[in-house]
Amino acid sequence: MEVTCTIDNHKITVKKGSTILEAAGKAGIHIPVLCHLDGHTPFTSCMVCVVQEKTSGKLLPSCSARVEEGMIIETASDAVFKARQDALNMLLSEHVGECEAPCTRTCPAHPGLPQMIRHIKTGSLDAAFSIIQQVIPFPSITGRICPAPCEMACTRAGIDAPVSLKLLERYAGDIAAGRQTKDAYNIPPDTGKKAAVIGAGPAGLAAAYSLRLMGHSCTLFEKEAGLGGHIRKSIPAGRLPREVLERELSILGKIGITIKTGISKGSDISLDELQTDYDTIILAVGKLADNESFLPATLCGNNSILINRETLMTGTPGIFACGACTRPMNMAIRAMTHGCLAASMADRFLKGDTLFNIDSREPVRKKNKLFISTVKHYTQQELTELLNSASPDNRVTPLNGEDRGFIKEEAERGAARCLHCDCYKIEGCLLRKYSQEYNADQLRYEQFTRKQIRRIADHPSIIFEPAKCIKCGRCVRLTKETMHGFCFTGRGFDVDITIPFDIPLQLIEEKTLKSCVQLCPTGALAFKEEV
């Protein structure tokens, strides 16, 4: 027998007894699920797969509700979006774990420091450099001059002293320096678009660098003879040796940026001319002088260039601004990140992408902002637990002196101190994916008590962190028939997933265990090798 229903205006006919999820799947309509497993009886735990039955207005878990004749289902209504968000907010209030490490979160550039560190630890220096260079254009510079708020945030600081993040960043930058050729940057073919960047301070340098790496041809204008702006002017050579500065900046030329120094804006170039010659312009002119004549009055506000905070675009389409000319910048890395952001906005502009989401008038950037689950405070016991997966060594001091940096052995020792407080399933976590998609908020529901963080790491390639579990029961169902496996223990909020009798993970049948890891919708079960 067959039944027909309507899902999002598609008429779908399925076998009687089919679930709404199955029917939707048949029509290619995607419904997010966290607990359901194809081929298994529905479990109906997460409540993220809800859809709305239009006639009654009822919300139904699509994984288990059956299709009934004539049903009209909506999978994308506001009510459904809100209900999924509610379920995710609840799950997030129970989920204890960090998506990204505090070092990553604290730095304006959001660099993959833990991943860089893990590459340094294993000696994969190219990989380490390529991670850092994605968001930090000149690690040898910032690795010397940065005030390093990342270290202040480092979880390891709660035990003894932070991981030497700054020295390690510098190490990755310095080691890779010899290998910096155009090929190392993997630049896409030319887009045929021309961009101009005015000002070669930290923001301008980063903007030019980013635009070029996106395949646009790029010209950098600077009024001084040398590049670097503030970095060159105010940082003493003791902190930043000039040969390091020159070496780092030489990359710009290597990757094909046209550099025009000694160009006075206003007298040598005018904005009108630039607008005719270039498809986009990024202003990174530094702190504005009192009587800025180069810029039309419409662009300027009270000592700064007026921009949209989210898109960094000025009132004139195609003209962006970044760095100290828009607001005070307290760190070079903040200015550089601002430059990178302006570049990516200019890139969208050049491609004809919208900077705003038309529906909600929400800036694209906000919408794309990564969802991050965080842990506010670690208990001493939890820190000790985390320390199990790291070297107990004290903070490493370079033998040759702080200004000479790490040698290989020191870098590896320093890297081994990282607690890996970032998630082992930083990619592929469904909870994070949907939390982002449904704009979920981890702090919507007050967390009065939370689960203690534990790491079960006896398996060579798999790690189990029960506090991240959202009790979807996938692993329980997958190991139901195997000799050993996972089970629910306890009741109510105290329900946990455990391995009975503290049996080592390795005793669980390997193939099944691996599918448990792959299908775990959070980082509760993860492969250790994921960088």
Partner 1 sequence: MSKIDENILIREDDIAFLDAIVKRFGNEPGSVLSLLKAIQDHYHYLPGQVLEYLCTIASVTPQQIMGVATFYTQFRRRPAGRHRIRVCIGTACHVKGAEQVLTAFLSHLHIPEGQDTDEKKIFTVEQAACLGCCMLAPAVQIDNTIYGHLTAKKIPSVISDFLSSLTGQGKTTQPLDTHNGKEYRGEIRLCTCSSCAAAGARTLYACFRDEIKRNKLNVALLEVGCTGLSFEAPLVEVVLPASRADNRTDSRVYRYGRVETAQVKYILDHHFPRGKLIRQITSGIYSLFEKIYTDEETYPVTRYALDFSRGTGSLYLGKQVHIATEYCGELGVVDIDAYTRHGGFSALKKCMEELKDPEQIISILKQSGLRGRGGGGFPVYKKWQNVLYEEQSPRYIICNGDEGDPGAFMDRMLLESFPFRIIEGMLIAGFTLGIHEGILYIRSEYPLAIDRINQAISLCAEHGITGEHVLKSNFSFSLKVVEGAGAFVCGEETALIESIQGNRGMPHFRPPYPSEKGLYGQPTLIQNVETLACIPWIIRQGPGAFSRLGTAGSGGTKTFALAGKIERGGLIEVPMGITLREIVEEIGGGIQGGTGKEGEKRLKAILIGGPSGGCIPEHLFDIPVDFDVLEEKGGMMGSGGMVVLDTTDCMVEIARYFMAFTQNESCGKCTYCRIGTQRMLHILTRLTRGKGKKGDIEELEHLSLLVKQRSLCGLGKTAPNPVISALTYFREEYKAHIQGICPAKKCKALITYRITDTCIGCTICAQGCPVSAITSVPYEKHIIDSSLCIRCDACRQHCPQQAISIT
Nearer to partner 1, 40 or 260 (CB): 40
> Rounded to the nearest whole angstrom, what is the least distance from the CB of residue 56 to partner 1 in the complex?
12
Tokens standing for 319? 């003209």
> Rounded to the nearest whole angstrom, what is the least distance from the CB of residue 8 to partner 1 in the complex?
21
Q: How many helices (H) does the chain have, and how many strands (E)? A: 19, 16
H-type alpha helices, 178-241 = 202-213, 230-234
> Rounded to the nearest whole angstrom, what is the least distance from the CB of residue 190 to partner 1 in the complex?
51
Place of tokens 């990553």: 104
- Contacts of residue 154, defined as CB under 8 A and 6 or more positions apart, other chains included, come to 102, 103, 162, 163, 165
Phi, psi for residue 257 in degrees, rounded to 5: -85, 135
Q: DSSP character for 26?
A: H
> Rounded to the nearest whole angstrom, what is the least distance from the CB of residue 44 to partner 1 in the complex?
4
Nearest to 299 by CA among 275, 331, 263: 275
Q: Please state, in angstroms and rounded to a whole number, the distance separating the CA atoms of residues 81 and 66.
A: 21
Nearer to partner 1, 151 or 385 (CB): 385
Nearer to partner 1, 96 or 251 (CB): 96
Phi, psi for residue 142 in degrees, rounded to 5: -65, -30
- Contacts of residue 215, defined as CB under 8 A and 6 or more positions apart, other chains included, come to 187, 188, 189, 190, 191
Q: Please state, in angstroms and rounded to a whole number, the distance separating the CA atoms of residues 76 and 497.
A: 32
> Rounded to the nearest whole angstrom, what is the least distance from the CB of residue 316 to partner 1 in the complex?
45
Count CA atoms closer than 13 A to 131's CA, side-chain side.
Answer: 21
Contact set with partner 1 (CB under 8 A): 41-48, 50, 59, 61, 64-66, 83, 86-87, 90-91, 93-94, 445-446, 448-449, 470-471, 473, 476, 479-495, 498, 500-503
Nearer to partner 1, 157 or 487 (CB): 487
Nearer to partner 1, 436 or 482 (CB): 482
Nearer to partner 1, 243 or 481 (CB): 481
Nearer to partner 1, 86 or 422 (CB): 86
> Rounded to the nearest whole angstrom, what is the least distance from the CB of residue 445 to partner 1 in the complex?
5
Tokens standing for 100? 């990204």
> Rounded to the nearest whole angstrom, what is the least distance from the CB of residue 476 to partner 1 in the complex?
7
